[in-house]
Amino acid sequence: MTNINTRAAPLLILLTLALCCGQLSAGPAPWWQYRSKIDGKLACSQTPLGAGWEKVAGPYKDSRCEKLVLAK
């Protein structure tokens, strides 16, 4: 039994390090401005709001959809 554990330990350590490194490079999701197809109201969201909404502007850095993300 201990032979299996000694083989799995380095693999487990490498897997843990790989997962941590991936999280370090992740940034916040961008915000998008959506317009209602029914009454034209605007909303700012990081996720699609559904079939009744269309994406009209973005991406933005903030939840008020005021600061545009500049292209790199």
Over residues 34-58, the pLDDT tens digits come to: 999 999 999 999 999 999 999 999 9
Q: What are phi and psi of 28, to 5 degrees?
A: -70, 150
Task: Report the percent of the chain where pLDDT is more than 70.
Answer: 83
Torsion sign, CA atoms 13, 16, 22, 28: negative
55: nearest Cα among 31, 30, 33, 36: 33
pLDDT band at residue 10, thresholds of 50, 70 and 90?
A: confident
**End-to-end Cα spacing for the chain:** 52
59 pLDDT more than 70: yes
71 pLDDT more than 60: yes
Q: What is the pLDDT of residue 23?
A: 59
